[in-house]
Amino acid sequence: MEQKVAIITGASSGIGAATAKELAKAGVKVMLAARRAERMVQLQQELEADGGEACYQVADVTSLSDMEALAQKTIERFGKIDILVNNAGISPFSYLHKRRVQEWDQMIDVNIKGVLNGIAAVLPHMEERNEGHIINLSSVAGHEITPVRVVYSATKFSVRVITEGLRRELRPDQQIRTTLISPGAVETEISEGITDQEAIELLGRQASEQQALHAEDIARIIRFAVEQPSSVAINEIVVRPTSQR
Ligand code: NDP
């Protein structure tokens, strides 16, 4: 793992920040990416204080030019890109009849186009080096359809399609791995983006019946996938809290 270089999107909180810590602990040089610079400055200092190597770049995943600049900066700073963790995502859940069309657009832009932009930004470099690892965050909602999560589910089903499609399109001689991670409930800030009161109440009732995972639980799983020998590709992991049905 020493000498590996990883870009992590959505690194300013939750699963992304925990993954940055876990990979840095394993000796990976990490490039943090998100929109909130102040969070990333703090995290970068924390990682460096623990002996890790880290850098950050403000990038909006919905912008291809931001993602290309991010890839460029990573190559300038660390010489290469071994791993991309396409983690940035949002989940403003709501009932379809509420017609929160703007939030649907945002989910499609961040959760689908953001993942595609990440792939577009790093793939030429990985193809040139003939190695790399692209890890995309889907969700249990990318496997199951439940009320208030319909548009979110559609985006996370898409992330599965994109990840599996990329795997199949890569030629057998291309040493590029893909991994899809589908977590169940994880306690992070993501639920703060929900504006539909009815959805908040429904989720509150569901949360009282089940425990949630911690962001660190997912970070350990990402590290597990990354640590495999390059000839071994962990293609998909679904992970739920034991109490989630
Ligand atoms: P958080 O809200 O804690 O983190 C989301 C991250 O995405 C933040 O760092 C945020 O940073 C970043 N982000 C949001 N929009 C953009 C954007 N346009 N450009 C760049 N970065 C952006 O959520 P989680 O850690 O929970 O979520 C991480 C991933 O895990 C998501 O893809 C989510 O769908 C998935 N997931 C989460 C589950 C959960 O229960 N928490 C369950 C299943 C999957 P900033 O605002 O600074 O840009």
Per residue in 140-176, pLDDT (tens digit) is 999 999 999 999 999 999 999 999 999 999 999 999 9
149 Cα: distance to centroid of ligand 1 (angstroms) = 15
Quick check: 115 pLDDT over 80? yes
What is the set of active-site residues?
152
Residues with beta carbon inside 6 Å of ligand 1? 9-16, 34-36, 60-62, 87-91, 110, 137, 139, 183, 185-186, 188-190, 215
- Torsion on CA atoms 144, 148, 150, 153, rounded to nearest 10: -50
| pLDDT at residue 123 tops 80 | yes
Tens digit of pLDDT for each residue in 22-70?
A: 999 999 999 999 999 999 999 999 999 999 999 999 999 999 999 999 9
Residue ID of nearest Cα to ligand 1 atom 21: 34
pLDDT for residue 119 is more than 90: yes
pLDDT of residue 185: 96
pLDDT beyond 90 at 209: no
Q: Give the start-end residues of each E strand in 18-123.
A: 29-34, 54-58, 83-86
pLDDT tier, 187 (very low <50, low <70, confident <90, very high otherwise)? very high
Q: Is the pLDDT of residue 1 over 80?
A: no
- Using most ligand atoms within 8 A of CB, pick from 66, 186, 189, 210 the residue to mutate for ligand 1: 186
For residue 137, is it within any domain?
A: yes
This prediction's pTM: 0.98
Provide the pLDDT for residue 236. 98
Ligand 1 atom closest to the CA of 91, numbered from 1: 34
Assigned domain for 41 exists: yes
Q: Dihedral of the CA atoms 76, 77, 78, 80 (nearest 10)?
A: -20
Q: Is residue 132 classed exposed, middle or buried when 0-12, 13-18 and 19+ CB atoms within 10 A define those classes? A: buried
Residue numbers of the domain that contains 215: 5-239
Average pLDDT (126-150) is 97
Q: Is residue 123 part of a domain?
A: yes
Choose one of 8, 31, 32, 35 to mutate for the ligand 1 pocket test, by most ligand atoms within 8 angstroms of C-beta.
35
Q: How far is the CA of 20 from the centre of ligand 1 (A)?
A: 13
Percent of the chain residues topping a pLDDT of 90: 96
pLDDT of 207 over the 90 cut: no
Residue 127, in any domain of the structure: yes
CA 134 to centroid of ligand 1, rounded, Å = 17
Q: What is the CATH number of the domain that holds 98?
A: 3.40.50.720
Residue 97 has pLDDT above 80, yes or no: yes
115 Cα to the center of ligand 1, angstroms:
12
Output phi, psi for 195, to 5 deg. -110, -15
Mean of the pLDDT values across residues 76-104?
98
**In terms of C-beta density within 10 A (0-12 exposed, 13-18 middle, 19 or more buried), how is residue 47 classed?**
buried
Measured CA to CA, the distance from residue 57 to residue 69 in angstroms comes to 9
Average pLDDT, the chain: 97
- Please state the ipTM of this predicted complex: 0.99
For residue 21, what pLDDT is reported?
Answer: 98
Q: How many structural domains is the chain composed of? A: 1
Is residue 244 included in any domain, yes or no? Answer: no
CA of 245 to the centre of ligand 1 (A): 23
When pLDDT is cut at 50, 70 and 90, the band that residue 90 belongs to is very high
Q: Where are the beta strands (DSSP E) in the chain?
A: 5-9, 29-34, 54-58, 83-86, 132-137, 176-183, 186-187, 213-214, 236-239
pLDDT at 189: 97
Q: Comparing 4-18, 73-87, 182-196, 202-216, which segment has the lowest mean pLDDT? A: 202-216
245 located within any domain: no
Q: Measuring from atom 23 of ligand 1, which residue has the nearest CA?
A: 190
Q: Is residue 111 part of a domain?
A: yes
Mean pLDDT, to the nearest integer, of 1-19? 95
